Amino acid sequence: MEIVFDENIVLEGDQGRSAPVAAGAAVPEEHSPEQAQVFTVEAAAAAVPEKPLHLLYEIKGNDYELVYTKIRIRHIEERLNRSIATIMGMIHHREMPKLSELYSIFAGGFKRVGGGYVSFEQGVEIAESFIEANSYAMMIDHILYALDRDCPFLFRLS
């Protein structure tokens, strides 16, 4: 299955104002919805810190996003047979998770905008296509951002 990703960053509540992701690009000062905006996850988050970002992925004309809940995390951890917090700790200490773990975490949070989650099998196929089209590091970046946004309790130290 070949999937073409059209990634967008959307500020929560601003569903009509999206921006293609491009590594290392600067945030433009002025923009209109008709003009393409180019952001990295970090630059977009810094531009409007009071609004969480939602990374949108367009696949065959449908919009998808990464969204994590406590229930989804439990399902992912059951599949992995280990805690997501353990994997996040590994990444924090510059150890990299296995591809299968990364695919499961990505797949477990992948859902259609306004709809339900994709099956883990579909999510893994999408994750494989995503990593080939982008990179291992970008997948980790997107997962970490979405987990921090949706489940900040995973990152609190006290």
**DSSP annotation of 127:** H
Choosing from 23, 41, 62, the residue where a domain stops is 62
The pLDDT, as a whole number, for residue 49 is 58
Which contiguous run of DSSP H or E holds residue 76? Answer: helix 70-80
Residues of the chain below pLDDT 50:
1-4, 6-39
Number of domains into which the chain is organized = 2
Please report whether residue 1 resides in a domain. no
The pLDDT, as a whole number, for residue 2 is 43
Q: What predicted TM-score, i.e. pTM, was given to this entire model?
A: 0.70
82 lies in the same domain as 57: no
75 lies in the same domain as 150: yes
23 lies in the same domain as 97: no
77 lies in which domain range? 66-154
76 lies in the same domain as 148: yes
Cα gap 75→73, rounded to integer Å: 5
The pLDDT, as a whole number, for residue 153 is 84
